[in-house]
Amino acid sequence: NAGVMQNPRHLVRRRGQEARLRCSPMKGHSHVYWYRQLPEEGLKFMVYLQKENIIDESGMPKERFSAEFPKEGPSILRIQQVVRGDSAAYFCASSPIGRGTEAFFGQGTRLTVV
C-alpha cells in the first residue's frame, strides 16, 4: 500500500472551517475509494470514483461533503463547515479496474476538529 499517497497525515481544523484531504492513487490506477474510520471501528464506505466520474456516492453525507477525481492531479475529499463529529481517520484506496480487483490503501488522514 506504500504506493497510495495521502496528505496531510494529520489535519486539525476548527469548527466551521473547511478540510481538504488529498489522495494520489498508485501509478496506473484509475479508480479511487474513500472510507471513514471512527476509533475502534471498521471502515465505512463513502464514495467510489474513477477519473472525472463519481461512480457511487451512496456513503457520502448529503451535506457538506464532496469528492472529486480530476483528469489530472489527486482525488480530493472536501468537508465544508466541519463539526466535531467529522473527526475520524479518512482512508483512500485505489485499484486499476473498479470491479473485482484488489484495492490498496494509503496511510490515511487523521482529521481532528476542535
Partner 1 sequence: TQLLEQSPQFLSIQEGENLTVYCNSSSVFSSLQWYRQEPGEGPVLLVTVVTGGEVKKLKRLTFQFGDARKDSSLHITAAQPGDTGLYLCAGIIQGAQKLVFGQGTRLTINP
Q: Decide: is 11 part of the binding site for partner 1 (CB under 8 A).
A: no
Member of 20, 22, 30, 45 binding partner 1 (CB under 8 A): 45
Q: Decide: is 54 part of the binding site for partner 1 (CB under 8 A).
A: no
Q: Decide: is 33 part of the binding site for partner 1 (CB under 8 A).
A: yes
Q: Decide: is 81 part of the binding site for partner 1 (CB under 8 A).
A: no
Distance, in Å, from the CA atom of 114 to the CA atom of 10, rounded to the nearest integer, reads 13
- Which of the residues 56 through 75 are near partner 1 (CB under 8 A)? 56, 58
